[in-house]
Amino acid sequence: MARITLNRPLARNALSIILSDELIHALEVVRDSRTIKVLVIQGAGGTFCAGDDITEMHRWGDANDVMRRVTGYQHMADTLEELDKVTIAKVNGFAVGGGLEITMACDFVVAAYGAKWGMPEVDVGITPGWGGTTRMARLIGRRLTKEINLLGALHPATRAAELTLWNRVVPDDRLDTAVDELVEVLLNKNQQAVRQLKFIINSGVEADLKTAQAFEKLSAGLTGAVNGGWQVDDADQAAGILGFRDKNTLWQERRGLARNFWTDGPVTA
């Protein structure tokens, strides 16, 4: 298991330019790890994350620079969402703006009763850039997403659970224990099955039903393979790859038959 701690407590862990860059690099380290199975993201100093550091926005540059910056943020959220590890946001204090967007890219969100959340960008005259409208609408629908973004209110943690935006709300003094218990359950699973489940759920929810079912079907085949049934009778057990490497008789025969087949077009002489 790994933990990433947002550590700017005096600024309520607001995402400065430096902290954002450090976060994406940390996520890339987790992404490339073959040993990490669960990632917990948390904030230092009794709060999760107060979103982008508004005081630094004048340093972002012109409109094109701002779009480039948002592209980086979207890459960060996409990297987090697509990790082949289970991700848990451990939320206390404030999770607003970019902080809330981080939680929406995680697989699980466990929050303390005292946590507050919302998208107050509207009152600064800006709009969310990496999930506050897009992921939120996919999680709770467009009508509630408009309510939360257009009004900009700060909501109690219990409402996030009621809306299924977050998974679970626990007493403040139980937050550490609740997250540790969830991690224990997750680490006890068949990790290949967990990876496949996360992939097909994330991929399927963005697809039409037929495509989503195709992901499920392929996942079932992969499950059969990793559970021992990988030797399909009319597959060649990597003979084609070995043939290419060695340029053996099988390779020569296959390429000899295929190389110039029907290359003269659809009308024969």
Residue positions annotated with a catalytic role: 101, 121
End-to-end CA gap in the chain: 66
Write the DSSP assignment of 57-119 as a string of letters: GGGS-SHHHHHHHHHHHHHHHHHHHT-SSEEEEEE-SEEETHHHHHHHTSSEEEEETT-EEE-
The residues, any chain, with a CB within 8 Å of residue 144's CB and separated by 6 or more, are: 163
Distance CA 94, CA 51 (A): 9
Distance CA 199, CA 216 (A): 10
Q: Which two tokens stand for residue 135?
A: 């992921």
Q: Is 152 exposed, middle or buried (0-12, 13-18, 19+ CB in 10 A)?
A: middle
Q: Which two tokens stand for residue 224?
A: 């059969």
Q: Which two tokens stand for residue 204?
A: 């399927």
Q: Are 157 and 115 in contact (CB under 8 A)?
A: yes
Q: 34 vs 3, 38, 192, 199, 240, CA distance in Å?
A: 15, 11, 12, 16, 28
Q: 5 vs 19, 40, 85, 210, CA distance in Å?
A: 11, 8, 17, 40
Q: Are 97 and 150 in contact (CB under 8 A)?
A: no
